[in-house]
Structure 1
Amino acid sequence: MPTTKSLQDISFSILDLAPIVVGATAADALHNSLDLAQHAEQWGYRRYWVAEHHSMPGIASSATSVVIGYIAGGTSNIRVGSGGIMLPNHAPLVIAEQFGTLESLYPGRIDLGLGRAPGTDQTTARALRRGPDRNGEDFPELVAELYSFFHPQQAQPKRAVRAVPGEGLNIPIWLLGSSDFSARLAGEWGLPFGFASHFAPNFTLPALQLYRSHFQPSEHLQAPHAMVGVNVVAADTDEEAVRLATSMQQQFLSLLRGVPGQLKPPVEDIDDLCTDYERAALAERSRFTIVGSRDTVENGLRRFLEETAADEMIFSSQIYDHQARLRSYEILADIFNQR
């Protein structure tokens, strides 16, 4: 879908996995997240989202609503939200109350992005859900139940159980996905849609086409609004960016091998750590990963925008050194803020 948009025409945001790096703690990771959010606010980022993952030694955002409150409390204007809450892990009433509380504390700044995957392995999912295995097929019903807590006047019959805080609050709901399921649902319900291009690149274009072709205007949106995720590692030189990106690549290798761990320091040559199969898997995953200097990243983002016609981009930068991570996001902001 060709587009005439420029990078300066769209919003840019951050998806933070609150990485716990080797040699540091979850507390360090969360403090770094707040520091990044405060810088992002100054640099003009639209949103700062954190993601729900469980039983992951390298990710500190498992208590996602708590982290959102911490980030929102330390910032002033940037929107803060979930990218996302894995709704099948929770009772919709609990999420309505949590996000109703957040919206009451930080009015007009909270986003609720919802996913249907567990955000973890099946053993941990069973520990979270405390019930029979579910494959996400009831996700539409869970979203509808959650929505009814915010808008009880539209529930039929009138709901006896009430979300307080939550009831009557206008909290934007996004559907997030890495396949066609949520794309179709978001379109049919007239909701904004976020696609995880950063880890499901091959499904990106079909999902966006499906979302747009099935979109029905609603009280929330009159036209489709698609956000796409991009892995970006930016540095002052291409060579330094390539080196920094090996931390993210090592993290993917750990997941591929079934041994997730903390984010590791960069190495000089990632090929030294890969089998041929792993090297091919890294290459496939990197279709919508952009690594390089400012010019390299800007050119890559322009091509990505031309290919996707995105309304918004959200960036994930898994970088070991916090100062280098700040620099990467600063370079990105410079690209989008130029006039």
Structure 2
Amino acid sequence: MVPTRDGMTWLLNPPEQDLPLILADNGFDVWIANTRGTRYSRRHISLDPSSQAYWNWSWDELVSYDFPAVFNYVFSQTGQKINYVGHSLGTLVALASFSEGKLVNQLKSAALLSPIAYLSHMNTALGVVAAKSFVGEITTLFGLAEFNPKGLAVDAFLKSLCAHPGIDCYDLLTALTGKNCCLNSSTVDLFLMNEPQSTSTKNMVHLAQTVRLGALTKFNYVRPDYNIMHYGEIFPPIYNLSNIPHDLPLFISYGGRDALSDVRDVENLLDKLKFHDENKRSVQFIQEYAHADYIMGFNAKDLVYNAVLSFFNHQV
């Protein structure tokens, strides 16, 4: 899913092709957030990244703490409702937050590119093998709570996955995201120099649970007593996307070649949004696009970003 990304990935193309700069040139006040644990988001008031406790989180904590912190800070600085853009994990966290009624009062609209909510049909070979490997016990595998793709232990683990029949990691980006149509090789080189970055092993387990279970739930501690301790019930609660306010303006764009945000899974998401106000939901489908085209495609400005800009400009 490329869950270990910092905000720099929005800025790898020439300026005229980067969505944040396009929005800024059109009068928007742009704020770029980094995912917890990446190079620009590793500080903490009391915990050190070298400690196990620092990495005791999954995307549930991004929903409950990080996403609201970003929204509250931007809103406190601008005093204006926010137009949000998310890609991949950024859409998952947003959808889960909105389903719980979080932040919707500070939100003007949301654009979700390559949306991730359901992952039952994810068909990237590397991703499927990884999801089967990330069982609950892996939180103690390697003795590491930090999942650092550039660390020796994780590198060895990834190489073992790449040894599975039918998996070609020579083209790592394609192995993870599907066959992208519209990337410059220089941009891909920049991406692979910088990404992927660290996340928590617990976060990887939670994403794998989302793949295996076919449902969007909070982290499953597997042991009923642990789930009861955290949630007061045997099974983790479900994020009910049907609860997203029906009048929240949503722009959704997905691609026909996306191996992570598979067409069937996006259609499942759209089914959950079937009662959304028709004039508040805009859906775009691009047959030739895969996952990374949405953030690095040399033609994304013409195919996607201009549509996002138009959508934002039509919100009152």
Same fold at TM > 0.5: no
TM-score tier after normalising by the smaller chain length = 0.3 to 0.5
Q: Which structure has the highest strand share of the two? A: 1
Q: TM-score, normalised by structure 1?
A: 0.31
Where relative contact order (Cα < 8 A, 6+ residues apart) is larger, the structure is 2
Q: TM-score, normalised by structure 2?
A: 0.33
